């Protein structure tokens, strides 16, 4: 196998292994470095990077990070005010970002608190809402699961990722409502990708043996 074929094989392998790296454009997507790269806007709420968070209303539950060692917990605050944590970033057309979110409702009907993920354009207008959940139609104190979300840019530009939670009608129920946010699950190379990489390494070794023979 000649050197040009080896180079081609490694380029193909890199493309396969790199595909699906959804968090490449976000800084500190899993909050492993605290709130570095993110901006909080709060009114009576809190944005805390935690290793776990426990609530009891609706049934005792402890949330743990689905990826890494930390996640973001945004506690609701003043009535009808979204507590937000945001980051702006540049995306190329076709580039995808993503993460995971969960809704932990601390109230009951008709106080339909919520949690959401929004994508805003450079002018601050919403262009996508890949995750949204509130208490409508859910049992009191609902403890929602971690849910994956993603967004693919249709055009190159500057975008803002907004994580948020909100109290509705009042400043808190039996417990405060939380929105939880973390990075996307790390991509594990598929067997075919690993086989391709192994083939490339074997070919490179064979070429080096021939060159030194």
CA torsion sign, 21 to 25 to 30 to 33? Answer: positive
Task: Give Cα separations from 143 to 84, 105, 135, 140 (angstroms).
Answer: 20, 6, 10, 9
Q: Looking at the whole model, is its pTM more than 0.85?
A: no
pLDDT band at 9 (very low <50, low <70, confident <90, very high): very low
pLDDT band at 213 (very low <50, low <70, confident <90, very high): low
CA-based angle 157:23:53, to the nearest 5? Answer: 120
Question: Which H or E run contains 183?
Answer: strand 178-183
Q: Are 207 and 6 in contact (CB under 8 A)?
A: yes
Question: Which H or E run contains 160?
Answer: strand 157-166
Per-residue pLDDT of 36-76, as tens digits, reads 999 999 999 999 999 999 999 999 999 999 999 999 999 99
pLDDT band at 181 (very low <50, low <70, confident <90, very high): very high
At residue 109, does pLDDT exceed 80?
yes
Q: Are 84 and 162 in contact (CB under 8 A)?
A: yes
Q: Does 10 or 190 have the greater pLDDT score?
A: 190
| DSSP string covering 117-152 | EEEE-TTS-EEEEEEEEESTTS-TT-BPPPEEEEEE
Give the end-to-end CA distance of the chain in Å, rounded to a whole number.
Answer: 15
What average pLDDT does this structure show over 7-31?
59
Structure-token pair, residue 202: 């074997």
């Amino acid at each position: 196998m000649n050197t040009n074929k080896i180079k081609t094989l490694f380029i193909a392998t890199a493309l396969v292994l790199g595909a699906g790296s959804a968090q490449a454009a976000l800084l500190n997507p899993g909050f492993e470095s605290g709130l570095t790269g993110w901006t909080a806007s709060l009114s009576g709420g809190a944005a805390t990077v935690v290793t776990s968070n426990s609530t009891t209303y609706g049934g005792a539950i402890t949330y743990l990070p689905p990826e890494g060692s930390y996640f973001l917990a945004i506690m609701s605050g003043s009535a009808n005010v979204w507590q937000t944590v945001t980051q702006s970033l540049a995306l190329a057309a076709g580039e995808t970002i993503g993460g995971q979110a969960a809704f932990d409702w601390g109230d009951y009907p008709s106080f339909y608190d919520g949690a959401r993920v929004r994508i805003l354009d450079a002018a601050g207008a919403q262009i996508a809402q890949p995750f949204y959940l509130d208490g409508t139609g859910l049992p009191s104190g609902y403890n929602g699961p971690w849910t994956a979300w993603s967004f693919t840019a249709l055009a190159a530009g500057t975008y803002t990722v907004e994580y948020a939670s909100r109290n509705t009608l009042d400043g808190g129920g039996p417990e405060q409502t939380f929105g939880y946010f973390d990075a996307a699950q790390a991509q594990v190379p598929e067997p075919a990708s690993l086989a391709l990489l192994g083939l490339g390494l074997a070919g490179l070794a064979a070429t080096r043996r021939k060159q030194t023979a």
